[in-house]
Structure formats: structure tokens, C-alpha cells
């Protein structure tokens, strides 16, 4: 970057000297040749976290890259950072970094580590201003559900992209079974929504155009699907709505030829129906997955709180803030995450009636197939063989032990992306959607390597490892 024109040669020289001195001091600290004070040592200790490397995918045996002329590429990271508003000690027994004063330095240091990536998708983000200090070369786009103290954020590199368009989708109010006839009737609106409960979940979609790309760019969508393990139906419903919204967004904003990445905390494991329908919708669902959806076709009392469908796009979004206000009892019931052994999930529910619009399994499968007529999404980790020979993959750690069908997908997903003393699950994904037109499919060219299981200790959050209960995942896409 050229020096400002109003600086004198002397000022420019002094600035260069200061920069050189800073770098020299940093190197001296790294070499151990400078004695640090106690406060400096403490701050360095607070910033420690488990660093992982990027691994090239689809390269030759010597690791060289064959780059086609004119191709673009971008690195994308997704991370559920664990909102401070949701931290409850009973969910993380033994954790040594649940207070914000203990988590902050670690979180900011890890985000700074990800600052070399072009796009960073965060879920459960409630301190955007503080996180932005670690990503000065990025601009945040944010949105959250009504009344929520945390939300979704997409940071993008400002020197590489600008925003062509963005949209926040309120999943509770969107239609699962759209009707060709307009109706303002509340009962008909409820039937078309087909929702099983109020979740306040949203999805954020952004079209990022390359600054020097000649009209090229990429679409990025992120979400945090409903968390409760017993609500498989609702996660499938939300996934269908998100895919339909992404496709319509691409058409509305003339970016059908752009690659589209769908990243986030989907709260579903590869051994569950939602994942299988996203990556292989045309394959038969194993019976345990059919049973999983069928048993969750219930209606929770909270569904009556969902606003009428009059103008869902105008529902205000409470953007993520720096507030640490305690959540209310109602919010806590719908926000917290519990171990999969929790059996309180069917309380306050009833069997659906025709007016609820709760679709049977075959219609849900048909809906996903119509959105993905040529095949499912390509999972960054699940479609590669990075973990074939080690225990750090979902299949090798026994994730499919309850499923007899060996043709299921997802064996190469990371063994765990959420790792706590109470529950250890694979929930976070980067999914590349198939092209809408005849454009070539984007290519996964690198992955952010998952950690070894033994590196995660007794469970997260944990000092020196990770300040969230979820691990950051990432991929590089070339198009």
C-alpha cells in the first residue's frame, strides 16, 4: 500500500522504523530473548488455543496446485462461538473458562487466526463489536430472530468482495407448503407454514460479488437450525425452507451461476435424517431415520406464538449486541442445549391435526428432491477422504453403529465438531450446493484440519484449547 501523499520522507522513514521495531520485538518474544513482565506472560497465556492447519485437497502427490487461468477461490470458516448469554455452568461441568473475562482473549485470538480466511460465518454471536477488533479487514453482516440476544454474522473481506444483496429468512413464518392462492386466514397460514413449534431461528443469505471479478462472486448462507434432538421434523422443515430461499435469492439477484456455500450449526449428525436428505436426497432413507422424523411429527404449544404470515419479510431482526442480559425462562427453554439423553422434549406437545400442515415423511423427502433434482449438496469434509485412515472421522469413531445401511453418506465428516463433558456430536458443516444452471461446479481445494480427539481434553470450553463448545470448521472453494 503506498504511503499517504501528505507525509514527508522523514515521516515515512520514521513509520518504517517503528514497524520494523515492532516486528523485531515480536520476533524476540517468540525467540525467548526478551524477558516479559508478569502481566504480559498472563495475557499470552490467556490467548493460547489449539491451532490447526489447512490441508490441500485435490492436489497431486507433490502438493502442487494446478490453477486454471481466471479461476477464483475463497476460504470460508464456520464457527458457533457460544453466546455468552447462553452459558450455563450445568451444561459445561468442569469447564475453566465460562466467564467472559476468561473466554474473551481466547475467542479474539482464534478469530484473529481466522482473519486470513475470506469469509467467516458465526452462529450464537452476541458481541459483534468486540469480535470485529480481531477482523479489521472484514465487514460484518448480521441478523437474529425476534427478541434474541445473539444471532448470525457473516464477515467478508472488504478488499475482495462487496455485497450485491442480502436477506434474513425467519424460519418460523416461512411456508413449507406454499399455496397458489393468497389467503389472510390465520388457520390457512398455519397450515402452509407446517411448523411444529416456535424456534425464532433464522437464516442469513448474502451475495458477495468480487471487486475485480468481472461480475463473478459467491452466495453464502448460514444458519443455526433448531437444537433439540427430538425435533427432527422441524430441522428437515427448516432445511427445505432455507434451500428454497437460497434458490429464489439466486434467481432474484442474477447470481445463478455463482457457487453457493451453506454453512453453519445444523444441529444434526450424519447418522440423522436431516443430513442425509441434504447430501443424498434421492437415496432411500434408512428406517431408523424415517422413524426419527415420524416420532417428531408433534405440535408444541409454542406454535401459537408464531405471528401470522401477513408480511414475514418485514419482521424486524434484533441484531446481535454486546449485551449480557440474562435470558428469560421462556427463552431459556427454547435456547439452551441439553445432552441427547434428555427426555423432556415431548412435554407440552400434541399430535398434529390437518390444519397444522405437518407433512408426512414421504412429502418431506419429495420436497427436498424437488429442490435438489440432480443430486445433493457436496459436504466439504464428507465428500473428501481426508479422514479415511484415522479415528478423527465420524465413521471411524463409530457414528453409524446404530444404522445398518452401509450406503449412507457422511462417514468422512469430522468425528466431533461439538465436544463437551456431557455431549460430543458432529453438528457443523459446509455444504456446496449444486449449480442452478449449466455453470461448472465449484471445487473443494483445501480443508481446515479437524483436531485429534485426544487434543480436546475432558471437554470444551477449555483454556488453551477452545473457548467455545463448538470447533471452527473451514474449506477453500475454487470456481
For 9-46, the three-class secondary structure string (H helix, E strand, C coil) is: HHHHHHHHHHHHHHHHHHHHHHHCCCCCCHHHHHHHHH
Name the CA radius of gyration of the chain, rounded. Answer: 23
In this prediction, residues 334-358 reach a mean pLDDT of 74
Q: Is the pLDDT of residue 325 over 80?
A: no
Is the predicted pLDDT of residue 333 greater than 50, yes or no? no
> What φ, ψ does residue 260 adopt, rounded to 5°?
-130, 125
Check if the beta carbon of residue 142 is closer than 8 Å to that of residue 151: yes
How does pLDDT run across 136-168, given as a tens digit for each residue? 999 999 999 999 999 999 999 999 999 999 999
Beta-carbon count within 10 A of 461 CB: 23
Closest Cα partner for 200 from 239, 147, 269, 121? 147
Cell numbers for 364, please give them: 418431506
Per the CB < 8 A criterion, the answer to whether 247 and 436 are in contact is: yes
Round to whole Å and give the CA distance between 409 and 400. Answer: 10
- What pLDDT digit, counting tens, does each position of 111-133 carry? 999 999 999 999 999 999 999 99
Has residue 78 got a pLDDT over 50? yes
pLDDT at residue number 61: 34
Q: How far apart are CA 224 and CA 240, in angstroms?
A: 14
Listed in sequence order, the residues at least 6 apart from 62 whose beta carbon sits closer than 8 Å to its beta carbon are: none
Identify which has the larger pLDDT, 270 or 406.
Answer: 270
How many beta carbons lie within 10 A of that of residue 297, not counting itself?
Answer: 18
Which pTM does this prediction carry?
A: 0.87
Mean pLDDT of 96-108: 97
Residue closest to 113 by CA, chosen among 399, 475, 472, 478: 472
Q: Cell 456446496: give the residue.
A: 432
Spatial CA neighbour of 368 closest among 203, 262, 237: 237
Q: Which domains are assigned to the chain?
A: 39-59+70-478 (3.60.10.10)
In the predicted model, is pLDDT for residue 11 greater than 90? no
pLDDT(344) > 90: no
Q: Kindly report the average pLDDT of the chain as a whole number.
A: 88
pLDDT (average), residues 461-475 = 98
Among 253, 142, 245, 236, smallest CA distance to 194 is for 236
pLDDT of residue 221: 98
309 or 208, which is more confident?
208
Per-residue pLDDT at 60: 39
Rounded Cα distance, 414 and 387, in Å: 8
* Beta-carbon contacts of residue 451 (< 8 Å; ≥ 6 apart): 50, 52, 392, 471
Query: Which are the contacts of 206, defined by CB distance < 8 A and separation ≥ 6?
Result: 141, 154, 156, 163, 165, 166, 167, 219, 220, 221
Above 80 in pLDDT, residue 177? yes
For residue 446, the surrounding DSSP H or E stretch is strand 443-448
**Which one has a higher pLDDT value, 453 or 312?**
453
Q: How far apart are CA 249 and CA 208, in angstroms?
A: 12
Give the pLDDT of residue 389.
72
| pLDDT given for residue 31 in this prediction | 63
Of 45-49, 61-65, 109-113, 292-296, the least confident:
61-65
Check whether 178 has a pLDDT greater than 80. yes
Place of cell 399430535: 351
- Identify the helix (H) or strand (E) that includes residue 101: helix 100-113
Q: What is the DSSP letter of 451?
A: P
Q: CA-CA distance, 158 to 136, in Å (whole number)?
A: 9
> Environment class of residue 316 by beta-carbon count within 10 Å: exposed (0-12), middle (13-18) or buried (19+)?
exposed
pLDDT at site 320: 37
pLDDT band at 346 (very low <50, low <70, confident <90, very high): confident
Q: Which residues have CB under 8 Å from 56's CB, separation 6+?
A: 63, 65, 445, 446
How sure is the predictor about 463, in pLDDT bands with cuts at 50, 70 and 90? very high
Residue 295's pLDDT band (boundaries 50, 70, 90)? very high
Amino acid at each position: 500500500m503506498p504511503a499517504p501523499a501528505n507525509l514527508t520522507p522523514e515521516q515515512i522513514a520514521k513509520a518504517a522504523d517503528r514497524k520494523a521495531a515492532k516486528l523485531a520485538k515480536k520476533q524476540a518474544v517468540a525467540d525467548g530473548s526478551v524477558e516479559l513482565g508478569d502481566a504480559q506472560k498472563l495475557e499470552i497465556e490467556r490467548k493460547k488455543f489449539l491451532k490447526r492447519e489447512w490441508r490441500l485437497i485435490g492436489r497431486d502427490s507433490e502438493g502442487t496446485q494446478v490453477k486454471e487461468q481466471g479461476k477464483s477461490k475463497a476460504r470460508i470458516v464456520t464457527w458457533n462461538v457460544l453466546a455468552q448469554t447462553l452459558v450455563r455452568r450445568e451444561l459445561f461441568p468442569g469447564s475453566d473458562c465460562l466467564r467472559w473475562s476468561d473466554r474473551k482473549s481466547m475467542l479474539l485470538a482464534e478469530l484473529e487466526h481466522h482473519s486470513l480466511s475470506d469469509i467467516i460465518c458465526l452462529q450464537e454471536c452476541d458481541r459483534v463489536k468486540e469480535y470485529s477488533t480481531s477482523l479489521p479487514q472484514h465487514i460484518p453482516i448480521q441478523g437474529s430472530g425476534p427478541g434474541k440476544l445473539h444471532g448470525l454474522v457473516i464477515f467478508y473481506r472488504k478488499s475482495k468482495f462487496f455485497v450485491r444483496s442480502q436477506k434474513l429468512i425467519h424460519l418460523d413464518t416461512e411456508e413449507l407448503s406454499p399455496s397458489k392462492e393468497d389467503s389472510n386466514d390465520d388457520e390457512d397460514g398455519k397450515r402452509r407454514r407446517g411448523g411444529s413449534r416456535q424456534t425464532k431461528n433464522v437464516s442469513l443469505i448474502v451475495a458477495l460479488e468480487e471487486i475485480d471479478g468481472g461480475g463473478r462472486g459467491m452466495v453464502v448462507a448460514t444458519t443455526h437450525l433448531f437444537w433439540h434432538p427430538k425435533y427432527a421434523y422441524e430441522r428437515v422443515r427448516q432445511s427445505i425452507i432455507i434451500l428454497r430461499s437460497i434458490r429464489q435469492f439466486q434467481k432474484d439477484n442474477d447470481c445463478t451461476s455463482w457457487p453457493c456455500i451453506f454453512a453453519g450449526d445444523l444441529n444434526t449428525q450424519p447418522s440423522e435424517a436431516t443430513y442425509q436428505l441434504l447430501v443424498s436426497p434421492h437415496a432411500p432413507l434408512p428406517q431408523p431415520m424415517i422413524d426419527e422424523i415420524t416420532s417428531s411429527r408433534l405440535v408444541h404449544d409454542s406454535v401459537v406464538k408464531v405471528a401470522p404470515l401477513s408480511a414475514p419479510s418485514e419482521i424486524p431482526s434484533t441484531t446481535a449486541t454486546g449485551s449480557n442480559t440474562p435470558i428469560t425462562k421462556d427463552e431459556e427453554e427454547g435456547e439452551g442445549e441439553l445432552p441427547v439423553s434428555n427426555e423432556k422434549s415431548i412435554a407440552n406437545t400434541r399430535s398434529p391435526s390437518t390444519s397444522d400442515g405437518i407433512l408426512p415423511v414421504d412429502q418431506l423427502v419429495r420436497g427436498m428432491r424437488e429442490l435438489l433434482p440432480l443430486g445433493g449438496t457436496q459436504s466439504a469434509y464428507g465428500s473428501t477422504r481426508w479422514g479415511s485412515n484415522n479415528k478423527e472421522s465420524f465413521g471411524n469413531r463409530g457414528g453409524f453403529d446404530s444404522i445398518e445401511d452401509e450406503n449412507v453418506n457422511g462417514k468422512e465428516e469430522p468425528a466431533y465438531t461439538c465436544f463437551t463433558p456431557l455431549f460430543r456430536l458432529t453438528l457443523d458443516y459446509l455444504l456446496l450446493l449444486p449449480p442452478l444452471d449449466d455453470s461448472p461446479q465449484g471445487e473443494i481445494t483445501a480443508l481446515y484440519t479437524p483436531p485429534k480427539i485426544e487434543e480436546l481434553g475432558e471437554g470444551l470450553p477449555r483454556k488453551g484449547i477452545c473457548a467455545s463448545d463448538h470447533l471452527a470448521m473451514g474449506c477453500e472453494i475454487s470456481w
